[in-house]
């Protein structure tokens, strides 16, 4: 029986940082997609604290994004919804998180882990997805979040891009996209 | 690299149906992952049952957010495991069934249930029947609702080695 968890593409940010992380020309031959990332922002003037909100685009689209999240910060659990954000790279992105990924204020060498699952990414249905991430550190308040997301668009997903509300993705940030086949 | 993430079976709903069953699950993997992407005729919990066991051997704990508030609740001593949700709009449930083939421990399930318009949740479920390997997985929406046409269920096997 075939191994169906296949690496499609992997990105590691170089010494200059990167305003976005992008996966293009995604093959339409899998059933589901999984994206695993280790991300950090270069920002030292965060919009929200020691983390920066991050966003995404499918197929370069600037609309149709909504999320519903559940987060804990070490003392309180809460829930909220998100739609879009203006990214530092320019333009509108779907906002993934209520909090965000570690930035330069959050301690040396601390990266945020994310795991994104996108089922049926080529189907002619609106694209729903599941994501969890943890923005850790040694401070009193840190965030973990689970998120349900939707891109209200029935087009097959052929590209994915991530961007930050402020700053760039720091050197050594990495993300890998995997394809899963159900046969 | 050995094949460790293998498709066991996929079921795509062609006619609205009240339940889905995966039978003859091979015992050759370490863990199982079951992915659901679909809808139902009405908003319901999603219920699991293993090996046809209808005794009150199931419990579950939920942590959930509805976009405004966070909460947690539990169900216990039920004849099904309430460990997911299904909605009238696209729902993603990813179930992880750990160490499913052993005959010495009770079986636990983790589920991430996602619906953008209603709720996101993380759940854990327990099946307390005298330990036996899981060979059959039964799923249904609560309340007698049907899974809608186009809903897809895929069961994968994960090998530790």
pLDDT band at A138 (very low <50, low <70, confident <90, very high): confident
At residue A47, does pLDDT exceed 80? no
The pLDDT assigned to B1 comes to 45
When pLDDT is averaged across residues B76-82 and rounded to a whole number, the result is: 96
Q: Using CA coordinates, name the residue in chain B closest to A118.
A: B92
- Interchain pair B65, A78: CB under 8 A: yes
Contact map slice: B 47-106 vs A, CB within 8 A: 63-70, 89-92, 94
HEC profile of chain A: CCCCEEEEEEEECCCCCECEEEECCCCCCCCEEEEEEEECECCCCCCCCCEECEEEEECCCCCCEEEEEEEECCCCEEEEEECEEECCCCCEEEECCCCCEECCCCCCCCCEEEEEEEECCCCCCCEEEEEEEEECCCCCCCEEEEEEEEECCCCCCCCEEEEECCCCECCCCEEEEEEECCC
pTM above 0.95, yes or no: no
- Averaged over A149-168, what is the pLDDT? 97
Closest approach of A108 to chain B, Cα-based (Å): 30
At residue A116, φ and ψ (nearest 5 deg) are: -120, 130
- B4 or A62, higher pLDDT: A62
The answer, yes or no, to whether residue A45 has pLDDT greater than 80, is no
Nearest to B120 among A125, A147, A183 (CB): A147
Q: Name the band, by pLDDT with cuts 50, 70 and 90, for residue A46.
A: low
Task: Give the pLDDT of residue A1.
Answer: 46
CATH code at A107? 2.60.120
Separation in Å, CA of B88 to nearest CA in chain A: 13
Please say if the pLDDT value at position B154 is more than 60: yes
Number of independent structural domains in chain A: 1
What is the Cα–Cα distance from B42 to A162, expressed in whole angstroms?
A: 34
Using the structure block, give the residue that is written with the tokens 């005298």: B130
User: Is the pLDDT confidence value at A155 over 50?
Assistant: yes
Is A179 within 8 Å of chain B by CB? Answer: no
Partner-chain contact A5 B5, CB within 8 Å: yes
Q: Is the pLDDT of residue B3 over 90?
A: no
CATH of the domain at B111: 2.60.120
What sign does the CA torsion over A85, A87, A90, A93 have?
negative
- Yes or no: say if A103 and A46 are a contact pair by the CB < 8 Å rule: yes
8 A C-beta contact, residue B102 and residue B133? yes
Task: Count the neighbouring beta carbons within 10 Å of the beta carbon of residue A97.
Answer: 27
**Contact flag A119-B120 (C-beta cutoff 8 Å):** no
Q: Flag whether pLDDT at A3 surpasses 80.
A: no
Q: What is the mean predicted confidence (pLDDT) over B146-151?
A: 97
To 5 degrees, how large is the angle CA B14–CA B18–CA B24?
80
* Residue of chain A whose Cα is closest to the Cα of B90: A128
Cβ of B158 under 8 Å from any chain A Cβ? Answer: no
Quote the number of domains for chain B: 1
* Residue contacts between A and B (CB atoms, under 8 Å): 124
* Full domain range(s) for residue B153: 5-158
- β-strand pairing of B58-65 with B70-78: antiparallel
SS3 (DSSP) at B94: strand
Smallest CA–CA distance from A147 into chain B, residue: B120
Q: If we measure between CA atoms, which residue out of A42, A49, A81, A71 comes closest to residue A134?
A: A71
Cα–Cα distance between A49 and A165 in angstroms, integer? 13
Residue A2: what pLDDT? 56
> What is the model's pLDDT at position A44?
87
CB B67 within 8 A of CB B85: no
pLDDT higher than 70, residue A78: yes
Query: In the block, which residue shows the tokens 């995404």?
Result: A56
A2 touches chain B (CB under 8 A): yes
Average pLDDT over residues A48-53: 83
> What is the span of the domain harbouring residue A157?
5-180
Q: What is the pLDDT of residue A103?
A: 92
CB-based contact, A12 to chain B, within 8 Å: no
Name the residue facing A146 among B3, B67, B122 (closest C-beta).
B122
B161 touches chain A (CB under 8 A): no
């Amino acid at each position: 029986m075939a191994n169906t968890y296949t690496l499609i593409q992997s990105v590691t940010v170089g010494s200059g940082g990167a305003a976005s992380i992008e996966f293009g020309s995604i093959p339409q031959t899998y059933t589901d997609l999984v994206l695993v990332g280790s991300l950090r922002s270069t920002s030292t003037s965060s919009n929200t604290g020691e983390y920066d909100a991050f966003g995404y685009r499918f197929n370069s689209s600037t609309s149709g994004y909504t999320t519903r999240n559940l987060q804990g910060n070490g003392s309180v659990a809460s829930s909220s919804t998100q739609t879009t954000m203006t990214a530092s790279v320019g333009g509108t992105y779907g906002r993934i998180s209520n909090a965000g990924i570690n930035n330069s204020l959050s301690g040396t060498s601390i990266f945020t882990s994310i795991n994104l699952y996108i089922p049926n990414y080529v189907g002619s249905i609106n694209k729903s997805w599941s994501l969890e991430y943890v923005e850790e550190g040694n401070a009193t308040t840190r965030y973990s979040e689970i998120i349900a997301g939707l891109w209200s668009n029935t087009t097959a997903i052929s590209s994915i891009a991530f961007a930050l509300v402020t700053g760039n993705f720091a050197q050594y940030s990495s993300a890998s996209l995997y394809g899963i086949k159900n046969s | 690299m050995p094949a460790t993430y293998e498709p066991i079976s996929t079921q795509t709903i062609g006619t609205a149906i009240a339940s889905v069953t995966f039978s003859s699950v091979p015992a050759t993997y370490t863990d199982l992952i079951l992915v659901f992407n679909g809808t139902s005729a009405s908003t319901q919990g999603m219920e699991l049952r293993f090996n046809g066991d209808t005794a009150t051997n199931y419990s579950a704990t939920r942590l959930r957010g509805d976009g405004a508030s966070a909460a947690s609740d539990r169900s216990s001593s039920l004849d099904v495991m309430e460990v997911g949700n299904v909605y009238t709009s696209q729902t993603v449930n990813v179930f992880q069934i750990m160490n499913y083939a052993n005959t010495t421990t009770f079986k636990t399930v983790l589920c991430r249930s996602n619906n953008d318009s209603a709720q996101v949740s993380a759940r854990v479920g327990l099946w307390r029947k005298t330990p036996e390997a899981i060979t059959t997985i039964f799923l249904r929406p609560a309340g007698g609702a049907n899974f809608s046409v186009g809903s897809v269920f895929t069961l994968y096997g994960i090998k530790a080695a």
